[in-house]
């Protein structure tokens, strides 16, 4: 007899897990940094990215899910296929995200976005949300939680999408959330510049964090790309992804095949959250990289 189909959280049910796994708690917080549009071979050949791979866990067979990129961002937080038109940001209704699951367990989350306007004027920013497509080097399509109507139209939820300037304050005040998604601007993520530019920005942002022993002891940092630059089927959407943190084996090379859904499922398992959809529901938590 075939197993009963899995029931996933729904907006109608308040985006709560009917049955949640026991939290594994390998890390106390996760910081996800997403860069843009590079093939694995080119990324791993960059001096700084190669050094990062040696300092953490290097996934040599990791793959993006889609071309173009926007659907990858949405899959990272919603666990399912959300089709977008010509890589433009979209308004998604009736979708639960990991933010809902975290909130249901009293766990905080934020999407830090470089260039996101400081929104103090409620007349200018209804629900404290800046919903425009662009602002300088800021791009809404790289801020996945902003695409979700239930977040965008709720003042409390949208207050979790903040300027990246807030990251330094939260770090200094020891108020970083359990889940942090960091969206660099269109220059620093390499979208409108190039790989060397993005790697230099990443070095300047990341190295001070890596030197903080107490921070790294409890924090898993995920550095990944949304998709490969080669969009041919033969390329397999092969991208660079590294895990960094005191809980992972340094200089570890993982040859097993993984993708963005597997990272999401790993984070869910860590915090005792159920899968959101068919994507992360069919994914496998990443194992054999932990101390």
Q: Return the active site residues.
A: 192
> 137: closest CA among 97, 199, 189?
189
> 241: closest CA among 117, 38, 59?
59
Partners of 165 in beta bridges: none
Q: How do the residues of the chain divide into helix, strand and coil, expressed in percent and rounded to 5?
A: 35, 20, 50
Q: Which residues contact 168 (CB under 8 A, 6 or more apart)?
A: none
Q: What is the dihedral of CA 220, 223, 226, 229, to 10 degrees?
A: -160
In the chain, DSSP assigns E strands to 29-35, 57-63, 109-113, 134-135, 138-139, 161-163, 179-183, 219-225, 238-244, 252-254, 258-259
> 222: closest CA among 259, 187, 255?
259
Query: Please, is 94 exposed, middle or buried when counting C-beta atoms within 10 Å of its C-beta (0-12, 13-18, 19+)?
Result: exposed
Identify whether 20 is preceded by a cis peptide bond (ω within 30 of 0).
no
- For residues 74 and 97, give the distance between their C-alpha atoms in angstroms, rounded to a whole number: 9
Partners of 244 in beta bridges: 221
């Amino acid at each position: 007899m075939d197993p009963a189909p899995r029931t996933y959280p729904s907006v109608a049910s308040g985006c709560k897990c009917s049955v949640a796994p026991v939290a594994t708690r390998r890390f106390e917080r996760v910081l996800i940094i997403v860069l843009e549009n590079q093939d694995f071979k080119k990324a791993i050949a960059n001096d700084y990215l190669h050094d990062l791979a040696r300092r953490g866990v290097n996934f040599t067979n990791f793959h993006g899910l889609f071309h173009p990129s926007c659907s990858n961002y949405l899959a990272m937080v919603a666990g399912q296929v959300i089709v977008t038109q010509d890589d433009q940001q979209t308004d998604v209704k009736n979708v639960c995200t990991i933010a809902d699951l975290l909130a249901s367990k009293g766990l905080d989350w934020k999407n830090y976005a470089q260039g996101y306007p400081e929104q103090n004027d409620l007349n200018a920013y209804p629900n404290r949300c800046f919903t425009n497509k662009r602002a300088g080097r800021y791009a809404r399509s790289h801020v996945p939680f902003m695409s979700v109507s239930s977040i965008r139209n709720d003042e409390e939820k949208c207050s979790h999408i903040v300027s990246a300037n807030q990251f330094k304050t939260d770090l200094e005040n020891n108020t970083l959330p359990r889940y942090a998604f960091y969206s660099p601007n269109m220059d620093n993520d390499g979208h409108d510049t190039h790989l060397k530019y993005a790697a230099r920005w990443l070095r300047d942002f990341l190295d001070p964090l890596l030197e903080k022993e107490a921070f790294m002891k409890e924090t898993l940092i995920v550095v990944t790309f949304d998709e490969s630059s080669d969009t041919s089927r033969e390329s397999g959407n092969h991208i660079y992804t590294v895990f960094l943190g005191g809980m992972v084996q340094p200089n570890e090379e993982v040859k097993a095949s993984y993708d963005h859904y597997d990272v999401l499922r790993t984070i869910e398992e860590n915090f005792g959250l159920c899968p959101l959809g068919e994507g992360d529901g069919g994914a496998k938590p990443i194992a054999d990289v932990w101390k």
